Copies of this chain bind each other. A is one copy, B any other.
């Protein structure tokens, strides 16, 4: 599968572009990362590309690289290792790739497995992380960071590749800085692999796994839509795994066109209460009943629950009590009167789930909170009430609840994820060969065919922001710079596309069935809809700008005519003036 579309270049040029900054210059990331902040963007080009100033990397001394899976398994993760192994071996067959067994705990304990051709061929294009496994997701405490340092030094690693999402890559950035400070020779490289799709910024267009997850979920959602339309008697409430952000729900809604999706970002931005959300669904049920429709499919991202303002506040109180070591049995009695009133109103199963101790990244255990059941119950109660009051005259409301997560997470990866991960694996090697530290492997122009993809690397510090709003006074992460969990952009094109059809989707059952993941034939090269309609390619544009600036410099060299120089000066003055105006006003909404 991979390899058929990906052309592997045995000789690669590296182009060092301008030094990076963060998008918000007020974030003083440089102070926290004195050694790894402000490094240049990297572009990789085939040697045949005609580029000035690029130098050919010909690293032929054997190298030793370690690789570790961090965080939750995401389809395609194995292919990063396949690509990395292949790139390393092409450049020197004596190079060594060590996998850490059991995630970060394997890293701390120096538990390694040498990745050989046989290992790679057993796991290529396979889902899961079972080649190496994974355990806890953190490399954060001093103890953990020191253990990682000790391992890398003991194993004489030239590079450490960390495969994971936002949290793991934030840890990777910190590790890179610490290693540089300790003058450790190991360079740290991050790879964006997370099914949540929330590691997204100017440099990273998509995460490995997201495409597969959305396709498998959309297949199932579409099947449910077909079922709803055939049985004509159930409302299906489907909760989707996807962490706090609603990227998965948005993409699945675009692919399968169910009747309704309620994004966490909408709820948070409009400050909808639990009652508002319930009412919104009830009104939809009622409007459909008036057209004699008693079925429907409603998508709910798992992050929805914590986007509802009053529940968010409740969860924060619970988290605060957890961090103060209060036992689960005592938490409810220590809540503020207001939070306590809300808590007592909720059904027992949700109470129990809200009280679960937080996940390793200190967030609520969203996968365990059955928001879909809560809303189905509230809607049922409200519809009964409306029935009694005579405002609803339709048939009885019936709901069936689902949670789609694990069954998608373990899927075979899609063609896109296979290719993307494999290319990222190759890039990891080239970043190490270029000798850089604290970089993330990047591929841009992803919506184009593989042959047009642009390979590069970006310093992880350039993706960081500082959390200004400090919810959790007890938490240890106050004000620490970290890579941003990207939320769905309510001003972005994918959301606008959904909004444009929302009313029709709600009333007209325009269900779309993309079908199961295909590996050959029609549909096998389909890409995520949001990826295709977003106008990304930031890296490509940065490069284009650099090219235009270079062009001006070449055209206006000492010796050019006075007229040419004047024209250039005047044009450039106008450009800089416009840019400074925009910078003051901030980006337009």
Interface residues of A (CB under 8 A from B): 72-73, 126-130, 133-135, 216, 219-220, 222-232, 236, 400, 402, 404, 406-412, 513, 515-522
- Whether the Cβ atoms of B73 and A411 lie closer than 8 Å is no
Complex CA–CA separation, A216 to B220 (angstroms): 9
Q: B134 to A230, Cβ gap below 8 A?
A: yes
* Option from B128, B130, B519, B521 in Cβ contact (under 8 Å) with A515: B519
Q: Which of B236, B409, B515 contacts A223 (CB 8 A)?
A: B409
A406–B216 touching, CB < 8 Å: no
**Listed residue (A127, A133, A227, A232) with the most chain B CB atoms within 10 angstroms of its CB:** A227
Knowing A134-B231, A236-B406 are in contact, say whether A223-B520 is a contact too (CB < 8 A).
no
Q: State the CA gap A226–B409 with chains docked (Å).
A: 9
Q: Are A133 and B230 in contact (CB under 8 A)?
A: yes
- Contact among B229, B408, B516 for A216, CB-based, below 8 A: B516
Q: Judging by beta carbons under 8 Å apart, are A224 and B410 in contact?
A: yes
Q: How far is the CA of A230 from the CA of B513 in the complex (A)?
A: 30
Collect the chain B residues with CB atoms within 8 Å of residue A134's CB: 230-231
Pick from B223, B225, B412: contact of A408, CB below 8 A. B223
How far apart are A16's CB and chain B's nearest CB, in angstroms? 37
Does A400 contact B410, Cβ atoms closer than 8 Å?
Answer: no
The answer to whether A513 touches B127, judged by C-beta atoms less than 8 angstroms apart, is: yes
A407, B411: Cβ atoms closer than 8 Å: no
Contact A409/B227 with A127-B513, A516-B516 known, Cβ cut-off 8 Å: yes
**Across the interface, which residues of B come within 8 angstroms of A227, CB to CB?**
73, 128, 406-407, 409-410
Residues of chain B contacted by A219 (CB below 8 angstroms): 411, 516
CA A575 to CA B16, docked complex, whole Å: 89
A407: B residues at CB distance < 8 A: 220, 223-224, 227, 402, 404
Query: Do B128 and A73 touch (CB < 8 A)?
Result: no
Taking CB atoms, residues of chain B closer than 8 Å to A231 are 72-73, 134
B127, B133, B409: the one within 8 Å of A232 (CB): B133
Known contacts A223-B216, A521-B521; A230 and B516 CB within 8 A of each other: no
Contact B236 A515 (CB under 8 A): no
